[in-house]
Chains A and B, each alone.
Chain A
Amino acid sequence: MTASTPVLTMTGISKQFPGVKALDGVDFRLLPGEVHALMGENGAGKSTLIKVLTGVHDIDEGRIELDGARVAFTGPLAAQQAGISTVYQEVNLCTNLSVAENIFIGREPRDRWGRIRWKEVRRRAAGILARLDLDIDVTASLSAYSLAVQQLVAIARAIDVQAKVLILDEPTSSLDAGEVQQLFRVMRRLKDDGIAILFVSHFLDQIYEISDRMTILRNGRLVGEYLTKELPQVELVAKMIGQELAELERLHGTAKVFDRPLVEARELGRAGAIEPFTLTIHEGEVVGLAGLLGSGRTEIARLLFGADHASTGEIAIGGTPQPLRTPRAAMSHKIAFCSENRRSEGLIPDLTVRENLVLALQAARGWTRPLPRSRQDELVSRYVAALNIRPADPDQLIRNLSGGNQQKVLLARWLILEPRLLILDEPTRGIDVGAKAEIQRLVAELSGGGMAVLFISAELEEVLRLSHRVAVLRDRRLVAELDNDDRLTTESLMETIAGGGHPA
């Protein structure tokens, strides 16, 4: 494989944003028929490298060669036409259009007179999705589907193009294990066809499973290029963060006994979304929610936050039943919900880091009582440091932050509120290993201080590390509640999720 010539070489690439040198003399090459992982912490410059390559941003210095010829793309369209097909980090689709259209827009099959052949569009869209094991109604509007489906649709769009180079920037961030496997099967097939694949992910296991070679960036600089099989995981992490990462210990080893119930859901349910369930969350307790995608995890969170209305049952807070009809009502009981859909439901791209951070707190205080500037500064600097948000400049606009750093800001916004119950839906998605550990430690610390946490994550290791108790969901039903003691492992948890019928 080393003998073949690269399809793509980038040499000496530099990119300066106002105040940030995002890329500094980076070299990168991509060989045909390989999966090449681009690694680095949040804000290392991975997405910027991809955007510079595909013409979303101009480059300041350096040259790009495709098949030996120098290129400079004017935009994604030009890159696509030259055979570079890209899925950008933030799922970029038009949710107002149908699924089929999102896959084909811009290159719909047409007849001789330029008329779009809709039948053909739908038929082929269903065919491509079938390759990803996805059987959905392609005529429905994309907004009807979850983020995971949308991500798969974006991938479907990219793999259908006859491309030489396929770029996937964190394509797996909202997929569950089965979907990832399906994607990997497709990637392997494409690889065998000689397509070069650039892959970005913060899931190290996935990197080791699929990639042949990796390039590591740190703070916009190239660290090096390595063969995946020659670089052990610890060394990779050390190279990414520039120091050794302490061994990840289990943060809550044993299940403690909690006796002060905070929020109790009694036979709470919503027709079509989640079967009635009973769940008690105590003060200071971290309850993990495990289950496959679509098993009802997010639905439970939304019910507890008042974002959806329950059709049966009731919620009691501190022993007294409370109708939580709106998120506002829930917030007045100090329940906070950090949703999984950060782009559409959370951040305001044109406000600064500071403003985004204090938004929820300010809203809770009411607009007539502005938060004093000194208090803002104090809170902001504390959380920027705690979560290692970079660049550590509170006046930077949110939209200029890397995807992972945006996620951290959103998380900090809710942490600042110091709620009594914090619901975290996939809080560490898209966040690098170092920051992940930081976030987990912070959550543990807060729960030690008496805050209750409902923690939703597709990563079972993470759930196990953090939770005192794990509630397992299957097919929109709460099937088990397991104490997180030494007997509970990812394997046994997996079994319960899959329907092994672990007794509660």
Chain B
Amino acid sequence: MLVTAGLFAAMFVAGGVRYEGFATGQIVLNVFIDNGFLLVVAVGLTFVILTGGIDLSVGAVVALSTMVSASLLQAGWPWWAVIALVLAMGVVLGGGMGAIIHFFGIQPFIVTLAGMFLARGLCYTIGTDSIPITDPAFTAFAQTRIDLFADLWISPSVLIAVAVVLVAAYVLHYTRFGRAVYATGGSEQSALLMGLPVARTKITVYTVSGLCSALGGVLLAFYMLSGYGLHAVGMELDAIAAVVIGGTLLTGGSGYLLGTVLGVLVLGLIQTVISFEGTLSSWWTKIFIGALLLVFILLQRLMSRRGA
């Protein structure tokens, strides 16, 4: 995680040296503004990965959430009912996958892959085209700027994302559920014999992930002001990358939420750098992320070897 923080600082400074107008506070805030939804999704995913699981369905659930929101708003539902329904849907989807994973002892990879196809498929049963959102509450939300000091501003989505991070960090470090998440990731067998509620923990982490994905979907709907089955394609991979770059072990049991935040920031900053560069195609983002991921996984490997 220190490495991630260092990397972030280094990238920021290097960017500042190279490009005019890069090293401003607003750049950092923009990263938050443009990636608030990713942050929320990555937070949920952190819970799952900490138990040693994986959730591939997050991107699809995000897309489904934008789609459901847009179509229901179009049908004239009030905005608060839409949001409540979407969040409930995320909970049900996540909890369902968690229950299947636990009770049938199936690999999370398989179950959430099925969940991913299911959610994407559902998007297209609602509609194959992008549905615009015109609801005044949503547009207000999308356009509001919250001014901070000295010309800096953020969007309401950033506030929500930050709140999610704070709540999640509290849960992970100060509640029994959070500690059971770490224990389950350390050794499920031991956690069981120590008398921890492993079943409940596992199902809950997928539920949390489902909820976070749905919330991420709502934030994306604010950001895009549309619902579309092709939103957030491949986002599960960005989220996994952010979590891993943030220092959480894919095998579970070790990692911090702050790391995930830094991971998302690093990813966002790469995008920013590439857009500042101007001449590079946006695919360079993927290449950088891929290289970084590799480096970080190697680093983790080396460190855990030295620890042993």
Contacts and interface: CB of A to CB of B under 8 A. Distances in A.
B189 A106 contact: no
A105 B253 contact: no
B307 A143 contact: yes
16 contacts: A76-B193, A76-B194, A77-B196, A80-B195, A92-B194, A93-B187, A96-B254, A105-B179, A105-B194, A108-B179, A110-B176, A116-B175, A116-B179, A118-B174, A143-B307, A143-B308
Given A108-B179, A116-B173, A116-B175, 6 more contacts: A76-B193, A80-B195, A92-B190, A95-B186, A96-B253, A106-B195
Nearest to B251: A96
Interface residues of B, number: 24
Given A77-B196, A157-B194, A96 B182 contact: yes
B189 A92 contact: yes
Contact of B195 (A77, A94, A118, A143): A77
Interface string A90-119: 001111110001100110101000111010
B180 interface: yes
A118 B185 CA distance: 21
B290 interface: no
B176 A106 contact: yes
Contacts of B179: 97, 101, 105, 108, 116
Which 9 pairs from chain A and chain B are nearest by CB?
Answer: A94-B186, A96-B186, A96-B253, A77-B195, A92-B190, A92-B193, A80-B195, A76-B195, A94-B183
Interface of B: 173-176, 179-180, 182-183, 185-187, 189-197, 253-254, 307-308
Interface string A352-371: 00000000000000000000
A79 B308 CA distance: 34
B253 A94 contact: yes
Interface string A175-215: 00000000000000000000000000000000000000000
Contacts of B189: 92
Nearest to B177: A114
Contacts of B193: 56, 76, 86, 88, 92
Contacts of B254: 96
Nearest to A110: B176
A97 B182 contact: yes
Contacts of A88: 193
A96 B185 contact: yes
A346 interface: no
A105 B175 contact: no
A75 interface: yes
A106 B185 contact: no
B194 A93 contact: yes
B125 to A, nearest CB: 40
A114 B175 contact: yes
A161 to B, nearest CB: 9
Nearest to B188: A94
Contacts of B197: 77
- Interface centre among A97, A102, A118, A143, by most chain B C-beta atoms within 10 angstroms, is A97
B192 A105 contact: no
